[in-house]
Chain A
Amino acid sequence: MTRSAMTERAPWYFVIPGAVAIAFLALPVVALLAQAPWGDLAALLTSEAALVALRLSLVTSIAATLVSLVLGIPLAWLMSRSRAFGSAWVRALVTLPLVLPPVVGGVALLLAFGRRGLAGQVLYDVLGIQIPFTTAAVVIAEAFVAMPFLIITVEGALRSSNRRLEQAAATLGADRWTVFRRITLPLVLPSIAAGAVLCWARALGEFGATLTFAGSFPGVTRTMPLAVYAALDVDRSEAIALSVVLLLVSVAILVSLRGQFLQGLRR
């Protein structure tokens, strides 16, 4: 921002709605923090139910992030390099879970992987495997909604990375896997990290698809957001305490990504 822009007075018709917007966004956060049972926080968060939900959330969100990395990076590479994979259709499909209401995602997952679903029926009839109501179902639901964050972040980085370096490596005799491993991957590593953090945050917050597709059972499928929802009816302070944890994690994620976002501003 230049000095002249700072000294210039902002017109009221921007200042007033802008201030309302800030208040609107800040008030719920302030309310949550103001009503948080700070004194009992430690006791509430070390209760059996809270610990079980915390552990399950960590395990499933990390698993969903790993699944997203393993499947998402190759797809991001294909989308950035191949005409077929880079088509508008593939792009729309990858973006869809970002805009789809998660509960609709849950219904769709049920219709696909439920024991009467398109793929789930085969699994159930042939192998006797039922996915819903298992921890695996939670991972599937989380990966479904979170993977797009990783793919889109990494694909953007691959697209804008310097191809000349890859071409130079190829001219010097490196095969495609070596080029990817030694040149491409290090170039986009910061974006992979940023995409993975965003993906993990989205997985950690997943609620609608999880409840619909995986159900809600302590230690198996009741993750932090589901535990907040279940506790809200019974023990409000427990629900607020769990919410504060999720809020703090979100803030920590923002801080960790600050460099990534501010890079653009500093230029």
Chain B
Amino acid sequence: MTVARFLSLAAVAILTAGCTSNTATKADTTLTVSAASSLTEAFTALAAQFEASHPGVDVALNFAGSSALAEQVNSGAPVDVLATASQSTMDVVTAAGNATDPTVFARNQLIVVAPSSNEAGVAALADLERPGVLTAICAPDVPCGAATATLLEDNALAITAATLDPDVKSVLSRVIADEVDAGIVYVTDARAAGDAVTTVQIPSGTNVSTDYLAAVVADSPHPGLAGEFVTLLSGAAGRGTLAELGFLSP
């Protein structure tokens, strides 16, 4: 067993448990940012940038499925900034009055990933319909799952998934661990996985894109700082980092 494989399995474990990952060190002010799983790499980098330009501020990151994060904020979780992977999950929070004026700061598209060995020979989206191709997708309640459902509907595909996972990183981990033959994830997740997966592009005409929105949470104890973090996302530095990781501009 390779270390990478063990780590990817451990990642499944941690993510599916719905745990939060905090990058906390001792600092004067802690800005808590809850972000969609697919933003893991981007926000880890952006948080470091923010900390560098704001001495004494520590950014604590909490990654999970957008629906779970929205639910947490509505339940009064102490969060300063919320970033979701869809308009509808953000709407849940703004409708409850727990955030206002969300900003669309990036877009993402879907891609098919297969294990690096690709023994099932997945070469196109339609291959997922083939019997015997074990596929993991996101649950329809989270943005990646909603986008996946739209994608399959638009392409008139009916696939029976092996599992409907609570967030996109769980799907990716199952593919990397070679427990499934294919998965549908965001382009950015596939890029972050590098050689660990085989990617199968979905032609842009038939692909689906999803918007990323960020907002300052109404009860944030640090609304000023939270606002600056949201501004960073849409600014030149933020756009650059997001583009490098494969996100599309809004």
CB-based contact A215/B177 at 8 Å: no
CB-based contact A133/B141 at 8 Å: no
Name the contact of A216 in the complex, choosing from B9, B65, B71, B163 (C-beta under 8 A): B163
User: Known contacts A215-B163, A230-B139, A233-B67: does B17 contact A103 (CB below 8 Å)?
Assistant: yes
Which interface residue of A103, A214, A218, A229 has the most chain B CB atoms within 10 A?
A: A103
CB-based contact B67/A234 at 8 Å: yes
A191 contacts B by Cβ under 8 Å: no
B13 contacts A by Cβ under 8 Å: yes
Which interface residue of A106, A114, A218, A233 has the most chain B CB atoms within 10 A?
A: A233
CB-based contact A215/B13 at 8 Å: no
Q: How far is the CB of B197 from chain A (nearest CB, A)?
A: 15
B16 contacts A by Cβ under 8 Å: yes
* B residues in contact (CB < 8 Å) with A: 1, 5-6, 9-10, 12-14, 16-18, 65, 67-68, 70-71, 134, 136, 139, 141-142, 161-166, 174, 177-180
Which interface residue of B134, B174, B179 has the most chain A CB atoms within 10 A?
A: B179
Q: State which residues 95-144 of A face B: CB under 8 Å.
A: 103-104, 106-107, 110-111, 114-116, 130, 132-133
CB-based contact A107/B12 at 8 Å: yes
CB-based contact B163/A133 at 8 Å: yes
Query: Can you pick out 8 interface pairs between chain A and chain B where the beta carbons lie within 8 Å of each other?
Result: A107-B10, A116-B178, A133-B162, A208-B13, A215-B174, A218-B164, A232-B71, A234-B141
- Residues on A with C-beta less than 8 A from B13 are 103-104, 106-107, 208, 212
- Residues on B with C-beta less than 8 A from A103 are 13-14, 16-17
- Residues on B with C-beta less than 8 A from A222 are 164
CB-based contact A217/B71 at 8 Å: no
- Residues on B with C-beta less than 8 A from A221 are 163
Given contacts A208-B17, A212-B12, A233-B141, 7 further A-B contacts (CB under 8 A): A111-B6, A133-B163, A133-B179, A133-B180, A216-B166, A217-B163, A230-B164
Which interface residue of A130, A215, A221, A230 has the most chain B CB atoms within 10 A?
A: A215
User: Known contacts A103-B13, A212-B16: does B179 contact A233 (CB below 8 Å)?
Assistant: no
A215 to B180, CA, bound (A): 11
> How extensive is the interface on chain A, given as a class?
20 to 34
A133 to B13, CA, bound (A): 15
Q: Which residue of A lies closest to B132 (CB)?
A: A128
- Residues on A with C-beta less than 8 A from B142 are 233
A204 contacts B by Cβ under 8 Å: no
Q: Which residue of A lies closest to B18 (CB)?
A: A229
CB-based contact B178/A115 at 8 Å: yes
A211 contacts B by Cβ under 8 Å: yes
Q: How far is the CB of B198 from chain A (nearest CB, A)?
A: 16
Q: How far is the CB of B38 from chain A (nearest CB, A)?
A: 16
Name the contact of A233 in the complex, choosing from B16, B65, B178 (C-beta under 8 A): B65
CB-based contact B179/A132 at 8 Å: yes
Q: How far is the CB of A145 from chain B (nearest CB, A)?
A: 14
CB-based contact B165/A216 at 8 Å: yes
Name the contact of B68 in the complex, choosing from A104, A110, A217, A232 (C-beta under 8 A): A232
- Residues on A with C-beta less than 8 A from B139 are 216, 230
A114 to B178, CA, bound (A): 9
A230 to B163, CA, bound (A): 12
- Residues on B with C-beta less than 8 A from A106 are 13, 16
- Residues on A with C-beta less than 8 A from B1 are 111
Q: How far is the CB of A134 from chain B (nearest CB, A)?
A: 9
User: Known contacts A106-B13, A115-B178, A217-B161: does B166 contact A229 (CB below 8 Å)?
Assistant: yes
Q: Which residue of A lies closest to B160 (CB)?
A: A217
User: Known contacts A103-B13, A211-B16, A233-B142: does B65 contact A217 (CB below 8 Å)?
Assistant: no
What is the 8 Å Cβ interface bit string for chain A, positions 199-230, against chain B (1 contact, 0 not)? 00000000010011011111001100000011
A221 to B162, CA, bound (A): 9
A114 to B174, CA, bound (A): 10
CB-based contact B16/A230 at 8 Å: no
Name the contact of B9 in the complex, choosing from A107, A214, A230, A233 (C-beta under 8 A): A107
Q: How far is the CB of A31 from chain B (nearest CB, A)?
A: 12
A114 to B161, CA, bound (A): 17
- Residues on B with C-beta less than 8 A from A116 are 5, 177-179
CB-based contact A217/B162 at 8 Å: yes
Q: How far is the CB of A222 from chain B (nearest CB, A)?
A: 8
A234 to B92, CA, bound (A): 10
